[in-house]
């Protein structure tokens, strides 16, 4: 290589993967507990890792802290990542026919927050159903968006269509 040439960068830019966030949310609920309705299981002295709803477990997996996802002080990129993961989950619930609203509201009129919250809060919902749905949504996203490509070194790399790989 000539001394004035710059070597090609080997750095790989990481992009947000909502499937990882959904799996992280499922793991969070397994470890710390699931609750129907309301944001996190607050007490007089809230624990570092409170029980959470599906929506709030996704927020915890993406944002790393039990904070209100509607607050204005959130970093725009982090909030966008949270809404991307929540949207993947809400779409999965909708398109698999699981987003049945128990309050007789047309599901198509609800935003991603409402779809996830109302599904989570259904009277007969269980923690196992929520954890399974989060993992199934992650698997569904991966199967729809993931692609395995060869690297120049002869290895294989998993990439997402969102990374710009066709």
pLDDT, tens digit, for every residue of 64-105? 876 665 565 566 677 789 989 999 999 899 888 776 655 566
Give residue-wise pLDDT tens across range 4-37.
666 555 555 567 889 999 999 999 999 999 998 7
Give domain status of residue 7, yes or no.
no
Tell me whether residue 59 is in a domain: yes
**How many folded domains does the chain comprise?**
1
At 108, give phi and psi (nearest 5°). -65, -20
Examine residue 80 and state whether it is found in any structural domain, yes or no.
yes
Residues 21 and 141: their CA atoms lie apart, in Å, by 11
Secondary structure letter of residue 133 according to DSSP: H
**How big, in percent rounded to 5, are the helix, strand and coil portions of the chain?**
50, 5, 45
CA distance 138 to 8: 34
Q: Give the 3-state DSSP-derived string for 35-86, with helices as H, strands as E and coil as C.
A: CCCCCCCCCCCCCCCCCECHHHHHHHHHHCCCCCCCCCCCCHHHHHHHHHHH
3 part of a folded domain: no
Average pLDDT, the chain: 78
pLDDT exceeds cutoff 70 at 108: no
> Is the residue at 95 inside a domain?
yes
Tokens 């007789």, located at residue: 104
Say what the pLDDT of residue 110 is: 76
C-alpha span between 100 and 97 (Å, rounded): 7
Residue 57 lies in a domain: yes
> Can you tell me whether residue 150 is helix, strand or coil?
strand
Question: Could you tell me if residue 5 is inside a domain?
Answer: no
Query: 63 with 77: CB under 8 angstroms?
Result: no
**% of the chain with per-residue pLDDT over 70:** 61
- For residue 85, the enclosing domain spans 18-163
């Amino acid at each position: 290589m000539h001394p004035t040439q710059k070597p090609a960068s080997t750095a790989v830019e990481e992009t947000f993967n909502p499937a990882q966030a959904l799996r992280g949310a499922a793991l969070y609920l397994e470890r710390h507990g699931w609750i129907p309705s309301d944001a996190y299981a607050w007490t007089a002295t809230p624990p570092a890792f409170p029980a959470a709803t599906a929506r709030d477990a996704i927020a915890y997996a993406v944002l790393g802290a039990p904070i209100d996802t509607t607050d204005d002080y959130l970093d725009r990129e982090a909030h966008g990542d949270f809404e991307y993961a929540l949207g993947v989950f809400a779409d999965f619930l909708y398109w698999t026919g699981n987003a049945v609203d128990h309050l007789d509201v047309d599901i198509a009129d609800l935003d991603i927050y409402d779809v996830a919250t109302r599904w989570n809060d259904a009277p007969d919902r269980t923690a196992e159903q929520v954890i399974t749905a989060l993992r199934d949504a992650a698997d569904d996203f991966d199967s729809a968006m993931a692609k395995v490509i060869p690297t120049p070194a002869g290895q294989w790399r998993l990439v997402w269509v969102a990374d710009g790989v066709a």
